[in-house]
Amino acid sequence: MATTAPDLRRYARQMIHPAIGEAGQRALGGARVLIVGCGALGTHVADTLTRAGVGFLRIVDRDFVDLHNLQRQVLFDEDDLARGLPKALAAAEKLRRINSDVTIEPIVDDANAGNIQALVEGIELIVDGTDNFETRYLLNDVAARAGIPWVYGGVLATYGMTLTILPGETACLRCLFPDPPPPGAAPTCETAGVLAPAVALIAAIEAAEAIKILVGARGAVNRELLAIDIWRLSVDRLPAARQVACPTCGDGSREYPFLDLAGASRTVALCGRNAVQITLAAPAALALPDLAARLRPAGEVRHNEHLLRFRPIEGGQELVIFPNGRAIVHGTDETALARSLYARYVGL
């Protein structure tokens, strides 16, 4: 935690930019940002905003450092892996050494409808570092209801997308995508992979958008859906108009299903079984053979018409997945870990 006034010489090269200057730098120093997810995108964004001198970062992540994280998650190293540190705590250690001007508040938890209101308390900007659709739609709900700007970002394989959302001014996530894809319908990083440079590129844009908002340069904010494939070097700017009929941010009655739990999945530890059950609010219709084909490179898969059993290469857990999307994760009684595994391999 910073105990003295920041030495602005640290930010000299940044303050030279006329859109920032000393006034903008002081605005950054007084800003309070929530980063949800401290994996590939989240670590890059947190690193950049810390070096930029954003005064307060609340970092929320439910996971622990794993070996495969080190390929693309820039705040972690082999020592963090050996110590078995939660990502939020490992990131906080690094960030505090980078810039003592910045107050870092790590929270080891799953961002969900039960705690998101507390997580956004006192926050003026949210940055997406998540790995699943359900949490992104939750962020969209809470941002729309509270009027907090947020920056969406996602990366899969070599392809990434980002959108900056200013409630009341720009399109929200549901203006473009009214509903998340059903579980099992879309590939995940565990099944399609992710190239580190694609992460770095999208995270850099997210961080730049955050800085624009925090220094008051809203006119420079990106108001389109930006999609980039770093392998093909293709860039697409897709219109992202606010929809007056949007159920979340439109001109009619508003609804916040993910914030109000109507659209959220339910997770419960099964007493005495060392297992966690995940039940979707709206049942899916999974094609188990297709899901098995996608999961096979990542572990051992067996399935029949009734269920699919999947044991990842890493870890000692087993996921039993049913055609309606319900799953039982064996080998843990930690609901956050179970949700993380489900999101990683099936998708939420």
Q: 38 catalytic, yes or no? A: no
- Alpha-carbon distance values, 325 to 182, 278, 337 (Å): 9, 8, 17
Contact 193, 143 (CB under 8 A): no
Which candidate, 148, 154, 102, places its Cα nearest to that of 130? 154
C-alpha triplet 109, 122, 249: angle, nearest 5°: 90
Residues 6+ apart with CB under 8 A from 306: 322, 323
Contact 109, 15 (CB under 8 A): no
C-alpha triplet 44, 45, 48: angle, nearest 5°: 85
Q: How many CA atoms lie within 13 A of 203 on its CB side?
A: 27
Residue 253 region by backbone torsions, left for phi larger than 0, else alpha for psi between -120 and 50, else beta? beta
Annotated catalytic residue within 38, 172, 175, 189: 189
Q: Which residues are catalytic?
A: 189
